[in-house]
Amino acid sequence: MPFLRSLRIKDEYNVPDSYPFNLPVIGGKNFTMEFTSPVTFFVGENGSGKSTVLEAIAIACGFNPSGGSRNNVYQFQKTESMLGNALRLTWTKKMNHGFFLRAESFFNFASYLDEAQKEQPGQDFMSAYGGQSLHSMSHGESFLALFKNRFMNAGGIFFLDEPEAALSPKRQLVFLSILDHMVKDGSSQFMIATHSPILLAYPDSTIYHFDQTIKEIAYKDTEHYQITKDFLDAPELFLKHLSWE
């Protein structure tokens, strides 16, 4: 059973006719989502609203709009939090710890840890992340270090925006095995916006397709699966027809 079960717009909230409420997938006051699996994927075209919704839920759960855990109070830029403030969440069990990984803010988070360590040398900011600056590791190495050293045994609710950006296909499988461990021990819930046909294959999951509305979709019905499969089966057929128009 997932910790976070559903969400909707608060009855008393006055919904404006502007971003993000006017995005087709949100559709104003009636926006609602249900979570029935420990892992929920958001898929859909670029610009369909996946990051907007993921960020809003993370904010509604109390995470920093810039990404990070609830305890990381750094702010690198002012981000849109109106939808987050408009949401009412229903929990099976309230979960206060976890992490919000924005696609573009991992670098900022690594910088924050470095700065915090410099300013408070008496405190150990790094051991939870494998004992060295996340900046001294590659993108994928630091991402996996974060999960192995800090999250794997602690559990929580995790919001990840395109984690595959950091990971080779092989490391995506390593990440899936970490995720599987965290899900099977009952400690964790994941919401992941992704374009990766590898991550989407995780069996114990719900895939929500963002288009004009948000609808559940089966793995093999996603464009991600179909295009990747057709392409890998016969790349020459696709490459013959490459054109900008």
Ligand X SMILES: Nc1ncnc2c1ncn2[C@@H]1O[C@H](COP(=O)(O)OP(=O)(O)OP(=O)(O)O)[C@@H](O)[C@H]1O
Chain contacts with ligand X (rule: CB under 6 A): 19, 23, 44, 46-52, 80, 193
Any idea of the CA torsion for 112, 99, 175, 104, to the nearest 10 degrees? -50
Q: Which does 18 bind (CB under 5 to 8 A by kind): Mg ion, ligand X, none?
A: none
Choose among ligand X, Mg ion, none what residue 46 binds, the Cβ cut-off being 5 to 8 Å by kind: ligand X
Q: Which does 47 bind (CB under 5 to 8 A by kind): Mg ion, ligand X, none?
A: ligand X
- Rule CB under 5 A: which residues touch Mg ion? 51
Q: Which is nearer to ligand X, 53 or 179 (CB)?
A: 53
Phi, psi of 221 (to 5 degrees): -90, -10
- Judged by beta carbon, residue 64 or residue 196, the one nearer ligand X is 196
Q: Shortest Cβ distance from residue 42 to ligand X (Å)?
A: 8
Q: Which residue is nearest to Mg ion (CB)?
A: 51
In whole angstroms, the minimum distance from the beta carbon of 178 to ligand X comes to 23
Residue 211 CB, shortest distance to ligand X, in Å, is 10
Minimum distance of ligand X from residue 191's CB (angstroms): 13
Judged by beta carbon distances under 5 to 8 A according to partner kind, the member of Mg ion, ligand X, none in contact with residue 19 is: ligand X
